[in-house]
Amino acid sequence: MKNFNFNKQTKFILAELVLSTVLLALFANIGINNVQNKMDKSYADFAQLISSSVASQTSDAKVSSVDFIQNLEKKFEPFIANNNDISYIEFKDKYNNILYTSKKKHLIDEKDTVLNVSSPVISENEINGYITVGLTGKGLEPISSVLKKSVFTVFSIIWLIFTLILILNVFYTSKELKNLYEGIKQLAVGRFGYKLESDNLSELTEAFNNMSNLLSKYEEHNIEQMTLERNKLEAVLMSIINGVIVCDNYDNVVLINTSALKMLDIEENLIINTKIQNYIDSHGQKCFLEKIEEFKDTPLNIIEQKPIEFNIEAGKLTIKAMISPMFSKQQDYVGYIIVLLDITRETEVNKLKNTFISNVSHELRTPVTVLRTYIDTLCNNSDDFDEATKKEFLNTIDTEAKRLHTMVNEILDFSRLESGSIKLKKEYSNISELIRQNVESIKILADEKSIDIHFESEDNIPSVPINIENIDRVIKNLLSNAIKYSQDGKDIFVNVKSSDDKKYVEFSVKDNGIGIAKEHLEKIFDRFYRVENAAHTVKGTGLGLHLVKISVEQHHHGTITVSSEEGKGSVFTVKLPLTVADDELA
């Protein structure tokens, strides 16, 4: 493009030079011809003047006389000899007879004569003859030559000056245009505000500088606006609790929020401007690779209606990822967005729920099977058993029925208490006495494992606003767990006292059982959660401690804590406030 413009410009300059040369040559030729014509006319007038002068000098003489002829020779010979412009002089009578001619004497060649002029010789108003003068033109030649050289020189100088002005003008114009072209290139690459310096194209330069300045201001405004919008967008994305990853049309990560970085456990500088397919999960797999390929192979109209969803593992987290296409305002496809949801809790709850259902099914099946077996045996073979055997059967049926009742109540209480739709009415009660009664009633279970329960309570324990039935279940659950998870012969210690700030009554149940591993302590009160160890040999639904926590903290505004060491037992401590709102009292 640049060479093409240069060639075109060169051709234009050459055309101008050729045209100007032709015009100047034409004008010079016309001028020379005009001057030459005028000189020729003047020369002819000069010749006519000579012939007329000679004719006038001979008008009174007798043309045919010998004296006349001799007189002519005396007059004209010196004149002819001293004048290069006169070729010859010739005198004819009125009958056109040559009476005198200088041609023979001077050996005049017709080629040496360029102009012949004749004038009549008049005497007494009568033409007596004719004088003819021939001119050589030698006096005109130097003048004509000087004239031509002068005109050629003048026009050549004019042509050179014109050419020089044209070249200089083109040079400076080209220089300014090149400067302008450079300025346009600077604007093209985004260097708005670039200024030209020129004196020759001041108006154009000023217009360019004004335009550049306006573009600079416009860019600054746009950059500020875009920066503001980008900052808003980034602020929104960074504040979203879900992870967001923005990828361009080439799979490069252009934006990722803090939540996504935490979920993927990666630093921003390690993932920005890299391909998302290269991310490796906790299993060493490129977890995004297959789904990104599936996303690209799926038509956009289908993806818009149903984004691709899949789960990935990142450390201890289970993450649900959803891929959706991203479009510009003009509906042009510009990339895609990956939204990450931390579903670790939901996944664990689902696992626990499935475990719970399995456990409940198993736990319910056992007492139901026992009940059906013993009842069927008594119904069909009661006559074959003595009273002691029948009583043993009935005791077993009663034990399994109570166990079944307890499990059903736990399930019902879980649904009722966790919903938060009920408010338990409370009344001021002697918590120390309630605990003592539960200790006495549960000793029969402790005796089966040779466990002693040591109960200790401070004097003058204040009454506590509680729902007796609900707290009674809490106490029974903690005591029964202490017995279940204690080895035979290991004692249990129950203590009741007022808190140091006198705002709570607290009681603790300490056992010397199998204990709880540190990694399970934070989840021990979660619903359906059961410790994956020897505890699974103990039957249960996994709801007991969760119901205890809900009862104490949600419905009684107290706290329950646990301290434990694996193999050395556990201590559960419950704190109940001494005051509640009036609308909670019965």
468-511 pLDDT, tens digit per residue, is 888 988 898 899 889 888 888 889 999 999 988 889 999 999 99
pLDDT tens-place string over residues 211-236: 777 767 666 666 666 666 666 666 67
Domain ranges of the chain: 2-142, 240-341, 348-416, 423-584
Query: Lowest-pLDDT range, 179-188, 284-293, 311-320?
Result: 179-188
Closest CA to 530 of 516, 542, 521: 542
pLDDT-based confidence at residue 255 (cuts at 50, 70, 90): confident
Q: Which residue has the tokens 């209606």?
A: 305
* Residue pair 263/317 in contact by the 8 Å Cβ criterion: yes
* Buried b or exposed e, range 254-292, using 16+ CB within 10 angstroms: ebbbebbbebbeeeeeebeeebbeebebeeeeebbeebb
pLDDT score recorded for residue 197: 66
Query: Lowest-pLDDT range, 44-58, 487-501, 528-542?
Result: 528-542
pLDDT score recorded for residue 226: 64
> What fold characterizes domain 2-142?
Beta-Lactamase (3.30.450)
CATH, range 240-341:
3.30.450.20
- Among the ranges 70-84, 124-138, 169-183, which has the highest mean pLDDT value? 124-138
Lookup: tokens for 388: 């002691």
pLDDT-based confidence at residue 575 (cuts at 50, 70, 90): very high
Q: Is the pLDDT of residue 317 over 90?
A: no
Lookup: tokens for 584: 């909670």
Which residue type sits at 388? A
Q: How do beta strands 243-248 and 333-342 pair?
A: antiparallel
Of 499 and 46, the structure prediction assigns the larger pLDDT to 499
Q: Is the pLDDT of residue 6 over 60?
A: no
Of 194 and 579, the structure prediction assigns the larger pLDDT to 579
User: Quick one: CA dihedral 221, 227, 231, 237, positive or negative?
Assistant: positive
pLDDT score recorded for residue 3: 44
pLDDT score recorded for residue 170: 73
What is the rounded CA–CA span in Å between residue 57 and residue 68? 11
Q: Is the pLDDT of residue 115 over 50?
A: yes
pLDDT score recorded for residue 534: 46
pLDDT score recorded for residue 531: 65
How confident is the model over 528-549, as a mean pLDDT? 62
* Residue pair 513/570 in contact by the 8 Å Cβ criterion: yes
pTM: 0.41
pLDDT tens-place string over residues 84-106: 777 788 888 778 888 777 775 65
Of 524 and 430, the structure prediction assigns the larger pLDDT to 430
Q: Is the pLDDT of residue 397 over 80?
A: yes
How confident is the model over 313-335, as a mean pLDDT? 85
Q: What is the largest CA-CA distance in the chain?
A: 211
pLDDT score recorded for residue 68: 65
Element of type H or E holding 118: strand 115-123
> What fold characterizes domain 423-584?
Heat Shock Protein 90 (3.30.565)
pLDDT-based confidence at residue 462 (cuts at 50, 70, 90): very high
**Reported CATH class of domain 348-416:** mainly alpha
Of 394 and 177, the structure prediction assigns the larger pLDDT to 394
Domains 2-142 and 348-416 share a fold: no
